């Protein structure tokens, strides 16, 4: 589009808010038009499209069939971990499967407003179960498959599901993860007992069923009648998605039906530059917000083909796995986490495996979920030859706060920046006084209320906690919990979590800025910097680095070089003196580095093994290494329960 069109669109989204979103709402089918676009009668608790009625499943599936696109492929399932299984479901196939499974849920008493937990691996049935809930007006809560029993029990008690949909197992690259013992243990621990469990029996591992409570997926579907879509209020919840809370009690982020459908459909064209019928791939998991927004709802609302991948970026079978999927299924855009690309870069530093595949369909790479270091971004640009968009959003927001809107105009990339605020988002860096700081200065990144459609209106059964956690500190603003700056060109730079801004002898410094320096070293594959307690300076930074395969320099040489680089780039004020080379960094299953846990270990503070950790043994390795450096003299892990 013509230059400057973004500026006009973004300005109008703020100055003519209701008219802007009302126009975008016409792209969605409503059974009853809304009374008010943005309902501010209970500010700061805003609601979108109040009085309106619709059904999200109808908009994602049925209307495409009714419009004559029933033969278009809706979902491609690609599973290298099961020996290369590939399934393709047309929109008609998907509608029929969803309508039938909705009937299976309805036969077990699930109706409008009831909750259903979905505890599934990355299989088409997970998406079918989510859409079936939406079809009935029920509220789904997806819990990452293989989550610990205690964490699942906490979620069962919080949302009190009428039914749970699960599978016999998940499949990793080198092992089978049995889900049913975890599910049974969670139900035993929970105070609330679901009336029914529907379990998909996977041939790789058949599980036992509890008589009277459990039923196999195939059996449940075989006796079910197809059901029609149930209209719900635009302000009714579509789903609850739990995110970790600082108190240890998970926060149930609520997503509504109306604003969510409007915002996600709009984002598919504005940000991702997708057209109906094109193939979009979010290489994430349905247990995370990315899976909700851009494996299931966003692409289907827009009439795209979505790709559901059960595999890894490396090891299934090699670091060319993503390129194989893109070439085979003619993917136009890929959305994944920077950690996936760091893993690929570590195994194939020169990107030689790309050349083995026909990538002509591929037009853009989108990275989110954590801050993308400039070195990884430039590496991806070089080996792929397409725009690489580092964009920023959160579980709470449901879609991007800032990004490079390829569907409107493409801005020059500034490595380390998420580019510009998306339509509807007024993003500012605030000082301690609650006012915006000058351009280029670090502050608390906040978004002016009301947040645009698709953002969370509250937490499940916890409005007071919602207000205290997000709205109280900066009246009139949403506190993102991230620290960063907005530069003179309006680019948003997310430096770190507010908790990761460290105070070194009175100087507030960003650990994210230090990580940027470390990651620019040619030997460093990935890194993390945390602030650890220091009797003299309050806090001092400590680096953790994973080196690339085949590095010749010694660990000590690399450490000495990055210490010098931080001093040269940021200055002596950073007091960056020590870094540790490790084999791996502890991460969640979604790829986030567990900086807070590493900091607690180094400071000898009590710490709890995070429920979302990918490999618990990594933290033991980190603790041992810290002891050798004089940190972490004692271990005080808090057991779950």
CA distances from 83 to 93, 105, 120, 492, 570 (A): 24, 31, 19, 43, 49
- Which tens digit of pLDDT belongs to each residue from 233-252? 999 999 999 986 544 577 99
CA-to-CA distance for 47 and 234, rounded, in angstroms?
A: 9
The candidate with the shortest Cα–Cα distance to 131, out of 229, 48, 201, is 229
CA-to-CA distance for 3 and 638, rounded, in angstroms?
A: 55
Is residue 92's pLDDT more than 60? yes
Q: How much is the pLDDT for 641?
A: 36
Threshold 0.75, pTM exceeds: yes
Choose the weakest-confidence range: 78-82, 174-178, 261-265, 398-402: 174-178
Contact 471/487 with Cβ under 8 angstroms? no
User: Can you say whether the dihedral through the CA atoms of 571, 575, 578, 581 is positive or negative?
Assistant: negative
Contacts of 190 (CB under 8 A, 6+ apart): 153, 156, 157
* H or E segment and range at residue 394: none
* Domains of the chain, earliest start first: 5-311+391-484 (3.40.50.12780), 504-638 (3.30.300.30)
Is residue 104's pLDDT more than 50? yes
Contact 280/332 with Cβ under 8 angstroms? yes
Q: How much is the pLDDT for 419?
A: 96
Is residue 294's pLDDT more than 50? yes
CA-to-CA distance for 291 and 306, rounded, in angstroms?
A: 11
Buried b (16+ CB within 10 A) or exposed e, 200-223: bbbeebebebeeeebbbbeebbee
CA-to-CA distance for 352 and 328, rounded, in angstroms?
A: 18
- Which tens digit of pLDDT belongs to each residue from 480-530? 999 899 999 999 999 877 666 676 765 657 788 788 899 999 999 999 999
DSSP letter, residue 208: -
> In 10 A of CB 42, how many CB atoms?
9
Pairing of strands 331-336, 364-367: parallel
Is residue 166's pLDDT more than 80? yes
Residue 310: CA atoms inside 13 Å, Cβ hemisphere, count?
Answer: 24
């Amino acid at each position: 589009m013509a230059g400057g069109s973004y500026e006009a669109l973004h300005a109008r989204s703020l100055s003519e808010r209701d008219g802007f979103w009302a126009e975008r709402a016409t792209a969605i089918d409503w059974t009853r038009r809304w009374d008010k676009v943005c309902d501010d009668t209970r500010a700061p608790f805003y609601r979108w499209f109040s009085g309106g009625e619709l059904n999200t499943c109808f908009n994602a599936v049925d209307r495409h069939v009714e419009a004559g696109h029933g033969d278009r492929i809706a979902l491609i399932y690609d599973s290298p971990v099961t020996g290369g299984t590939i399934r393709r479901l047309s929109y008609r196939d998907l509608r029929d499967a969803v309508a039938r499974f909705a009937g299976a849920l309805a036969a077990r008493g699930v109706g409008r407003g009831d909750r259903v937990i979905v505890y599934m691996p990355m299989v088409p049935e997970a998406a079918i179960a989510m859409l079936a809930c939406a079809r009935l007006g029920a509220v789904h809560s997806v819990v990452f498959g293989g989550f610990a029993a205690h964490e699942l029990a906490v979620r069962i008690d919080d949302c009190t599901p009428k039914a749970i949909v699960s599978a016999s197992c998940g499949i990793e690259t080198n092992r089978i993860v049995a889900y049913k013992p975890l599910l049974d243990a969670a139900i035993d621990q929970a105070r609330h007992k679901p009336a029914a469990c529907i379990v998909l029996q996977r041939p790789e591992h058949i599980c036992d069923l509890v008589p009277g409570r459990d039923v196999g997926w195939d059996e449940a579907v075989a006796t079910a009648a197809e059901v029609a879509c149930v209209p719900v209020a635009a302000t009714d919840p579509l789903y609850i998605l739990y995110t970790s809370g600082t108190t240890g009690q998970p926060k149930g982020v609520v997503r509504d039906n109306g604003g969510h459908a409007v915002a996600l459909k709009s984002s598919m064209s504005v940000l991702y530059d997708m057209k109906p019928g094109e193939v979009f791939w979010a290489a994430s998991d349905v247990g995370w917000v990315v899976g909700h927004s851009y494996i299931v709802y966003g692409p289907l609302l827009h009439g795209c083909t979505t790709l559901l991948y059960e595999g890894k970026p490396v090891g299934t079978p090699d670091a060319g796995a993503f390129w194989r999927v893109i070439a085979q299924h003619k993917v136009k855009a890929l959305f994944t986490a920077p950690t996936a690309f760091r893993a690929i870069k570590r195994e194939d530093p020169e990107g030689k495996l790309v050349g083995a595949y026909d990538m002509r369909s591929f037009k853009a790479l989108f990275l989110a979920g954590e801050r993308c270091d400039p070195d990884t971004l430039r590496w991806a640009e070089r080996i792929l030859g397409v725009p690489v968009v580092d964009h920023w959003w959160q579980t709470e927001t449901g879609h991007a706060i800032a990004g490079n809107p390829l569907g409107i105009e493409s801005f020059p990339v500034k490595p380390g920046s998420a580019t510009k605020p998306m339509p509807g988002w007024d993003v500012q860096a605030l000082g301690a006084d609650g006012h915006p700081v000058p351009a280029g200065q670090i502050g608390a990144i906040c978004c002016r209320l009301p947040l645009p459609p698709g953002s969370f209106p509250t937490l499940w059964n916890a409005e007071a906690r919602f207000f205290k956690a997000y709205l109280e500190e900066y009246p009139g603003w949403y506190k993102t919990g991230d620290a960063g700056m907005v530069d003179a060109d309006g680019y948003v730079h997310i430096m770190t979590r507010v908790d990761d801004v460290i105070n070194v002898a009175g100087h507030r410094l960003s650990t994210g800025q230090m990580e940027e320096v470390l990651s620019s070293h040619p030997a460093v594959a990935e890194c993390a910097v945390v602030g650890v307690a220091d009797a003299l300076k309050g806090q001092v930074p400590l680096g953790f680095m994973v080196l690339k395969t085949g590095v010749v320099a010694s660990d000590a040489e690399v450490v000495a070089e990055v210490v010098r680089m931080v001093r040269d780039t940021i200055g002596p004020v950073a007091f960056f003196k020590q870094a540790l080379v490790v084999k791996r960094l502890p991460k969640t299953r979604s790829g986030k580095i567990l900086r807070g846990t590493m900091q607690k270990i180094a400071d000898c503070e009590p710490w709890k093994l995070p429920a979302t950790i990918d490999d618990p043994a990594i933290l033991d390795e980190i603790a041992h290494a810290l002891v050798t450096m004089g940190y972490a003299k004692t271990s005080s892990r808090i057991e779950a329960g």
